[in-house]
Amino acid sequence: MTVPKIDRAELIAVSLPLKHPFRTSAGVVVNRESLLLRLRCGGLEGFGECTAFAIPFYTYETLETAQRIAEEYLIPELLSLRNIDFDTMRNAFADVQGHPMAKAMVENAVADLFARAKGVPLYECIGGTKKPIMSGIALGLKSSIDALIDDVTLAVDKKYHRVKIKIKPGADKELISAIRNRFPDINLSVDANGSYDASRFSALRDLDGFNLDMIEQPLPRRDFAAHARLQKAIRTPICLDESIECVEDLKTAVSLGACRVVNIKQSRVGGLHRAIAIAEYARTNGIGVWSGGMLETGISRAVNLHLQTRDEFNLPGDTSETTRYFDEDIVDAPVVLDEDGFIQLPEGPGIGVDVNPDMLAKHSLLHKIV
Ligand code: MG
């Protein structure tokens, strides 16, 4: 599958107010600012989203760095190509080191365009199978345990397949214990965003008796050895998120025994194809796989749904209903849960959702033809 050439590329910065501020061990997000790329080719258009944040609290990338890398390097390279396929595009980007979220935005826009040109849903182009997708919800740090329990109760009522809470040193055991007292049997996991260190192993070992599905990224991203030591000391599976930027990182983790689960965010690893390579390696090596979230708009939320049609994605991810985060989104239709907590894939070619021009205009901060 190729696209003859890209006629036009536009970068669009948007800001969507979150219904509730989202707090992690590393920072708080009030408005979800995001960067979109719209590509046009022969009457069709494809969208990609960069899910970096405005500040570098999750990874080093920010919306500002991604815009600069896309504008100065990736998009000019893309516009210079003819008969574009993924290999050609990735080779053209090979001299740009790092910046996976900027690259994912470009690759995903091209993938949407490819699938729309072919008239098929994206999952058909990436080896997926149409099926309902399991849901999951990530709850940020709250002002009180009562507020957290209220949020968990709502999630359980909605039939989310997995509830994840953010933790940090000093805000862990008490929260989990309160949830377990109320909900002894739900699929529950915790995410520390790397906020513990080796001196706090005992606090992490204390979580081993709560029957958690996993402890996500307890330790700093580069410390594979400490994750391996911790995994040997606890029964609860460790899930790596920020540590895994490429398949080589997962090979390191597997060889050391540093995790039993991986959270694959296609944006963090540089797009769908690298995400699939990591998922395939994980499955071959008995590592559980799920798709993480980035408080993204409906564009990336749809991409994540298509990715989860791949067989390797065997655990509930972070994909929630749109209304969990936003009163208004820039795409139609929103993600909703059915009565059993599943999400149906969006119908239609490409990513299957369409950008609503009125909502895009309302929430745009910048619109630039590159
Ligand atoms: Mg995480």
Between 47 and 143, name the one with better pLDDT. 47
For the stretch 328-349, pLDDT in tens is: 999 998 999 999 999 999 989 9
Average pLDDT over every residue of 266-272: 95
pLDDT of residue 21: 85
For the stretch 152-211, pLDDT in tens is: 999 999 999 999 999 999 999 999 999 999 999 999 999 999 999 988 899 999 999 999
Average pLDDT over every residue of 104-116: 95
Give the confidence band of 1 by pLDDT, cuts at 50, 70, 90: low
Question: Could you list the active site residues?
Answer: 166, 265
Between 369 and 143, name the one with better pLDDT. 369
**Ligand 1: distance of its center to the CA of 85 in Å?**
32
**Ligand 1: distance of its center to the CA of 193 in Å?**
6
**Ligand 1: distance of its center to the CA of 166 in Å?**
8
Question: What average pLDDT does the chain have?
Answer: 94
For the stretch 16-47, pLDDT in tens is: 999 988 877 777 888 999 999 999 998 999 99
pTM of the model: 0.95
| Dihedral over Cα of 249, 253, 254, 260: its sign | negative
**Ligand 1: distance of its center to the CA of 264 in Å?**
9
For the stretch 206-251, pLDDT in tens is: 999 999 999 999 999 999 999 999 999 999 999 999 999 999 999 9
pLDDT at 291 over 90: yes
**Ligand 1: distance of its center to the CA of 296 in Å?**
14
**Ligand 1: distance of its center to the CA of 192 in Å?**
7
Do 14 and 366 contact (CB within 8 A), yes or no?
no
For the chain, percent of residues with pLDDT exceeding 90: 86
Alpha carbon distances (Å) from 150 to 145, 156, 178, 180, 291: 9, 10, 11, 13, 25
**Ligand 1: distance of its center to the CA of 263 in Å?**
7
Long-range contacts of 83-92 (CB under 8 A, 24+ apart): 83/2, 83/3, 83/4, 83/5, 84/2, 84/3, 84/4, 84/5, 84/6, 84/110, 85/1, 85/2, 86/110, 86/111, 86/273, 90/273
